[in-house]
Structure 1
């Protein structure tokens, strides 16, 4: 049995889509899987059980990436074709069963919508599969914290509007890791995309070298995932890394303002979120310049996040 799984360019959406992939992998043991997705998200699929092929789809002019995909998969019979990007590709490929996402339903969480799409009553949690190489590398990275609690922080995002001010992350980390905090003397792992490290520099510099490790695109995403599985707490903005943390099973708190937690809250066993005092609709009603990198999270206080985190960890 063969599955063609077409999923997102975006890391966060790709992580959420692994709930669907997990369903097929676990329902049909031994299924052969081909995944097609954007280059940023591709690494999280490298250890999928039964993976035959991983096809990266960088965007090309006039939809050239779809033509390239068709040429690479059109001469094989597919038992199941899942297209979560709503293209026409699934309908012009030889196959038996086709599942196509035709649009987002903002009334439910994305994971719940995807479960309905494939006819599952109870959604599976997203899952990122690991291999021994990346687990070993994560152990090497984290070896210096010697049994202390591990706090992982995702202080950046792909858009400045979704970023909680860095100085507030600095204050929060200090409180969480103080001797009176819920993670006393914790080691801090700071994670983000390679293009975002300058935005986090103030926070990075505020933590002593022997108390933190910085991974902004310098390690494979599966290595990052293996590190996330060791976290006592992940806290960060709405981002792909937040969804990776939720998929790891570690306690995860997402910070939300100009995005909908109803659709994109971290989804997993130990997940929660904190919102700005204004909700998404109120923020939009006040007017948003989508080209601006100015934070729209300034009415989320450190006190609110700290108190919520303490309760969450109890």
Structure 2
């Protein structure tokens, strides 16, 4: 580590969505502490989000072990350093047993419910100016995204997967909305379809590929790393997806984002940003929770969210963000 550096231990979430929502704190600390150096602790799935932080010393992948042994393993890796700041978004006991000048530890909110971005900002006592999600990407990642999205026509990005059946909107409805938007008479006529997800979602992408011509289809579900997928999202004109980590990545990327909600609370987990919207069926989160209090049933709670509702919300968001210029839209206008 360079002499005079200010070492920061940043402990974030196992989940992609939560890690994205707190990522703006890294940007804020990087901007305000010029000599900051980061050691970032994250779950294996979320850790790649931080691989291109400019002032990164190390990423520690934090995988759970039986009997809580993962906490002891982490403590052994960080105990010998004198930290300038420890930011613990997990609210763990570990952060109290390392040497540091200052600690910023998450505590359960006891007041009125707030969004997770505001909750994260309060850890650093940022009340009036929350740190919006921010993911660092290197030039080579942006170049790879440019290659993957090369072509003409606005890009409609879809993320039809979720981590639980209960909040997964039916794939057939995603298909119908995409066809309506990309129709020759639709608001995204001449556009392309980009499908995002992990390798386990490749089947979903295959079932959507017939919505458009082969040259208009971009499949990011297989062989594309998390940061490249994020950089590709920057080049989209519109994103539609279930409440998921990908939805939060889209909002962080600045693409107009429509999140589809049912058994999750948009007050806490709605997409964050100026160009974001939420669509849900006629039932509120509380009404859905009353039917399935523990959210443990293998039951889709998104069936009452109609194609017309989502399509109308998407069209309204497109109209409201007509001034937003993605690289692909600019390329189209220059062609």
Give the shorter-chain TM-score range: over 0.9
| Alpha-carbon RMSD | 1.5
What TM-score does the superposition give when structure 2 sets the normalisation length? 0.89
Q: Does the residue aligned with 1:35 lie in a helix, a strand or coil?
A: strand
The equivalent residue for 1:280 is 285
Which residue in 2 is equivalent to 1:98? 103
Deviations 1:123-152 (A, max 9, x none): 121000000121111111112xx2210111
Matches of 1:20 and 1:137, distance apart in 2: 26
- Between 1:86-95 and 1:197-206, the stretch displaced more is 197-206
Residues in 2 aligned to 1:235 and 1:260: alpha-carbon distance in whole angstroms = 17
Q: 1:104 to 1:161 in 2, by over 3 A?
A: farther
Q: Distance in 1 between matches of 2:29 and 2:187?
A: 39
Counterpart in the other structure of 1:109: 115
- 1:119 matches 2:134: no
Report the Cα distance in structure 2 between the residues aligned to 1:272 and 1:27, rounded to whole angstroms: 31
Residues 28-84 of structure 1: CA deviation (Å, up to 9, x unaligned): 123101100100001110011200001001111111111111111111111100010
Partner of 2:33: 28
Conserved 8 A contact 2:192-2:212: no
| Alignment-derived partner of residue 130 in structure 1 | 137
Residue 84 of structure 2 is aligned to residue 79 of structure 1: yes
Distance 1:302-1:52 versus aligned 2 partners, 3 A rule: same
Tell me the distance in 1 between the aligned counterparts of 2:193 and 2:27.
Answer: 31
Q: What CA deviation, in whole Å up to 9, does each residue of 1:226-283 have, x standing for no partner?
A: 1001110011000000000011011111010000000000002311111121111101
Q: Distance in 2 between matches of 1:111 and 1:214?
A: 30
Q: Does 1:261 align with 2:266?
A: yes
Give the number of aligned pairs: 312
TM-score by length of 1: 0.95
**Alpha-carbon contact 1:157-1:196 (below 8 Å) kept:** no
Deviation at 1:206, TM superposition (A): 3.9
Given candidates 278, 292, 304, the residue that maps to 2:309 is: 304
State the partner residue of 1:41.
Answer: 46
Contact conserved, 2:178 with 2:211, CA < 8 A, in 1?
no
Q: Which SS does the other structure have where 1:102 is aligned?
A: coil
Partner Cα separation in structure 1 for residue 47 and residue 97 of structure 2 = 24
Deviation digits for residues 144-194 of structure 1 (CA, Å, limit 9, x no counterpart) = xx2210111011101111111111001000001112222112111100122
Structure 1 residue 291: Cα displacement: 4.3
Moved more, 104-113 or 238-247: 104-113
- Retained in 1: the 8 A contact 2:205–2:219? no
Look up the match of 1:181. 186
Q: CA deviation at 1:306?
A: 0.9
Change (3 A) 1:62 1:268: same
Counterpart-to-counterpart distance in 2, 1:13 and 1:242: 11
**Per-residue deviation, 1:117:** 2.1
User: Residue 201 of structure 1: CA displacement?
Assistant: 4.1
1:154-193 equivalent positions in 2, closer than 5 A = 154-193=159-198
Shift of 1:293: 4.0
Looking at structure 2, the residues matched to 197 and 291 of structure 1 have their Cα atoms a distance apart, in angstroms, of 26
Query: Partners of 1:241 and 1:251 in 2: how far apart?
Result: 13
Deviations 1:82-118 (A, max 9, x none): 0101111110000010011122567110101111221
